[in-house]
Amino acid sequence: MAYSDKVIDHYTNPRNVGTLDKSSHKVGTGLVGAPECGDVMRLQIEVGEDNVITDAKFKTFGCGSAIASSSLATEWLKGKSIDDAMKIDNMDIVEELALPPVKIHCSVLAEDAIKAAINDFRVKNGMAPIESEKVHH
C-alpha cells in the first residue's frame, strides 16, 4: 500500500514531537489506544488565557498513518480555542492526509486523543468534561 505524500511528510518530519509537563494545570493530556492494538497516542495541549491552545505535543506508537494523524492534529490545535478544537473531526484528518479506509481508525484515534486532552484540561480547571456525541469503536 502506498502512502500519500502528506503522510510521508508528517511521518518523515513529524511536527511537535515531545512532552509537556502533565502536572501543570495549563496542560491537558490525552493517552488513547492500546499497545495490544498496535497504536497508542499521547497528545498534550498547553492552554493559555481565553482558553486558547498555545502549544501542542505528541508521541505515538503506531504505523505511519497514526504518527502522521497525531502530528497533523498538533499543528491544527495550536492557536485554536479549546471549544473550536473540540470540533475537529476525524474525517477532516482522513481528507487532509488522504488516508485509505483501513487507516481511518488512525484518524479516529487522533480525534479521541484531542478530546481526551481537552477534557483532561477542563477537569483540571474545574470545568465539566464534554461528552462526545460520536461513539467510535
Partner 1 sequence: MNLPIYLDNNATTPMDPRVLEAMLPYFTTKFGNAASRNHPFGWVAEEGVDYAREQVAKLIGASEKEIIFTSGATESDNLAIKGVFEMYKEKGNHIITTVTEHKAVLDACKHLEKLGGKVTYLPVKEDGLVDLELLEQSMTPETILVSVMYGNNEIGVIQPIKEISAIAHKHGALFMTDAVQAVGKIPVNVNTDGIDLLALSAHKIYGPKGVGALYVRRKGPRVKVTAQMDGGGHERGMRSGTLNVPGIVGLGKACELCGLEMESEAKRLSALRDKLQNSLTVLEESYVNGNIEHRLPHVANISFKYVEGEGLMMAMKDLAVSSGSACTSASLEPSYVLKSLGLSDDLAHSSIRFGLGRFTTEEEVDYAIEVTKKSVNHLRELSPLWEMFKEGVDLSKIEWAEH
Near partner 1 by CB under 8 A, which window of 27-35, 74-82, 83-91, 124-132?
Answer: 27-35
Q: Does 131 bind partner 1 (CB under 8 A)?
A: no
From CA 52, how far away is CA 95, in angstroms rounded?
Answer: 25
Please say if 106 is a catalytic residue.
yes
Residue 14 binds to partner 1 (criterion: CB under 8 A): yes
Exposure string of 52-70, with b = 16+ CB inside 10 Å and e = fewer, is: ebebbbbbbebbbbbbbbb
Q: Which of 106, 108, 110, 113 is catalytic?
A: 106
- E-strand stretches of the chain: 27-34, 39-47, 53-61
Q: Which residues are catalytic?
A: 37, 106
**Which residues of this protein are in contact with partner 1, per CB under 8 A?**
1, 3, 11, 14, 17, 19, 31-42, 59-64, 66-67, 102, 105, 108-109, 112, 136-137
